[in-house]
Amino acid sequence: MLASTIAESIGRSGGANGECFGRGGGGGPKYPTPQRVYVTGMLIALGGILMFFSAFVSAWVVRRGLPNTDWQPIPLPHILWLNTVLLAASGMTLAYSRRCLLMGREADHRHWWDLTAILGIGFLAGQLVAWRQMVAEGLFLATTPGASFFYVFTAAHALHVLGGIAALLVLTFRLPRRLTPETASYVVALYWHFLTALWLLILAVFLLGG
């Protein structure tokens, strides 16, 4: 279903210039900029973001594995599980919102889109609570290396989520000039689902750390 909706959304916005340059291969409509390029751009950006977090994971692996280390396992704040549910739910509302958009159900689309933003904000609020729970345990940024990594991972991820929420809110109030709504929502969805998957990865790192 996802693949066909992608094809649909790109094909529809490919538009009038699609058949112009028929000779040779490898080309497509050039101007206005083909919608496909925004998807490509987002995928590449996600590659960069993944590399950034991979560097943190490598650092975590090395730091944890040092001999005679001061590593201690950290107690994971309980609210993290609720936050995970909120984030996963926001992914589902976003997917449903896109479905509504593609089916032409504008009102529903907006409703579930705004719900996604709200759930995202809820996730961020929950992360702040998680930080407070850590502080209550006496674990500040520099207290133990495990705590340091906890704050670094959650802060970096939260900043990216904040960016995603900003995109959601901006698109609520204005349509982008160069992207079709279908492409814009697709690109946002790519980013948002990536961050959800990334969060699960980070959780796995915390759990492995003990």
Partner 1 sequence: MSSDHPASTAVHARTGALGGIFRRYVFSTDHKVIGLQYFFLSLAAVTIGLFLSLCMRFHLVWPAAHLPFVTGGTMTPEQYLALVTMHGTIMVFFVLTTAPQSAFGNYFLPLQIGAMDMAFPRLNMLSFWLTFVAFLVALSAFSVPGGAPISGWTAYPPLSGMGEITGPGEGAGQSLWIVSVLIFCVGSLLGSINFISTTIEMRAPGLTLTRLPLTVWAWFVTAILSLLAFAVLFAGGILLALDRVAETSFFLPAGLVVSGELQTHGGGSPLLWQHLFWFFGHPEVYIAILPGMGVVSHILANFSRKPVFGYRAMVFALCAIGLLGFLVWGHHMFVSGMNPYSSLTFSMLTLSIGVPSAIKTFNWLGTLWGGKIQFQTPMLFALGFISFFVTGGLSGIFLAQPALDTSLHATYYVVAHFHIVMGVAAIFGIFAATYYWFPKMFGRKMNKALGQLHFWLTFVGVYAIFMPMHFVGIAGGIRRYADASGAQYLVSLQPLHGFMTIAAFITGAAQLIFFYNFFWSIRQGEPASANPWDATSLEWATASPPPPDNFAGQFPSVYRAPYEYSLPAASQDFLPQHLPSEHDAPSYEGSC
Q: Interface with partner 1 by CB under 8 A: which residues?
A: 17, 20-28, 30-31, 33-34, 36-37, 40-41, 44-45, 47-49, 51-56, 58-59, 62-63, 66, 68-71, 141-142, 144-145, 148, 152, 156
Three-state secondary-structure class, residue 179 = coil
Residue 30 CB, shortest distance to partner 1, in Å, is: 6
Residues in Cβ contact with 33 at an 8 Å cutoff, skipping those fewer than 6 apart: 178
- Taking the least distance from each CB to partner 1, the nearer of 32 and 78 is 32
Residue 161 CB, shortest distance to partner 1, in Å, is: 17
- Taking the least distance from each CB to partner 1, the nearer of 45 and 169 is 45
Distance, in Å, from the CA atom of 158 to the CA atom of 144, rounded to the nearest integer, reads 21
- Taking the least distance from each CB to partner 1, the nearer of 96 and 151 is 151
CB atoms within 10 A of CB 79: 18
Residue 44 CB, shortest distance to partner 1, in Å, is: 5
Distance, in Å, from the CA atom of 35 to the CA atom of 40, rounded to the nearest integer, reads 9
Distance, in Å, from the CA atom of 13 to the CA atom of 91, rounded to the nearest integer, reads 24
Residue 118 CB, shortest distance to partner 1, in Å, is: 29
Q: With beta carbons less than 8 A apart as the criterion, state whether 183 and 43 touch.
A: no
- Taking the least distance from each CB to partner 1, the nearer of 49 and 118 is 49
Residue 175 CB, shortest distance to partner 1, in Å, is: 16
Distance, in Å, from the CA atom of 20 to the CA atom of 185, rounded to the nearest integer, reads 27
Q: Which of 188, 158, 197 is nearest to 42 (CA)?
A: 188
- Taking the least distance from each CB to partner 1, the nearer of 20 and 200 is 20
